[in-house]
Amino acid sequence: MKNHQLTPQPSSLINMAAYNIVRPLHPSATIREGYTAQAVILDLCAIDVEILELYASRWNLKEYSSMLLCSGWSVTLTLIPLLDSDPRAPDLFTRACVLLRVIQRDMQGVRIIMQGIMALLWKTGRTIPPEAVQYFSGLDNNRGELKDVPYEFALPVPEVTQKLLEDDDDDLDETTKLGADVAALLQKWSSLSVE
């Protein structure tokens, strides 16, 4: 599983496939003796973050921003359910958020993705790890900067979104909550008017 010889794109795609295989398993499910589903997921996230950090330290990110975005997005979403249960998760989550904000310099749409991650944290009753809070600040300060982005892609201010998301937690059971939350968030956001 640990093959650091891969370039970021194939490694990221392989790990995303592995996430999708392992993620539905109970975190304590044994993959092999002494190695649980949660440990596999954390190792995959660590590999992705390490490869992305190595890539970011050596090359210009502008050419590969889309690929890096997919990997950073995948890591953050995968780690959300583990933030409270494993001490490695907050650090990996924070490092992935750092990379997403770096990518944002060339892809302003990452700001909206970060808002979505923040909303998913709120919806699932988790808090942003203290180390990562700084990477979520200023996300709503995009008025006038994204002139070519249709208004449908703009999100309401965080306080309004957080209130809306806290209103109905009873809709989904714990097993399907994360998967269904993205669709529910999009539906709720589309019903809000943009300032």
Report the mean per-residue pLDDT for the chain.
75
Q: Where are the domains of the chain?
A: 8-191
Q: What is the pTM of this model?
A: 0.70
CA distance linking residue 71 with residue 51, whole number of Å? 10
pLDDT-based confidence at residue 194 (cuts at 50, 70, 90): very low
Residue length, the chain?
Answer: 195
70 Cβ partners below 8 Å, 6+ apart?
12, 16
SS3 21: helix
pLDDT recorded at residue 83: 93
* Cα dihedral across residues 15, 16, 17, 20: positive or negative: positive
| CA dihedral sign, ordered 74, 35, 179, 82 | negative
Q: Give dist(CA 158, CA 172) in Å, integer.
A: 22
pLDDT digits 0-9 by tens, 83-140: 998 999 999 999 999 999 888 877 778 888 888 898 889 888 898 999 999 998 887 7
Tell me: the pLDDT tens digits for 10-30? 777 788 888 888 888 888 899
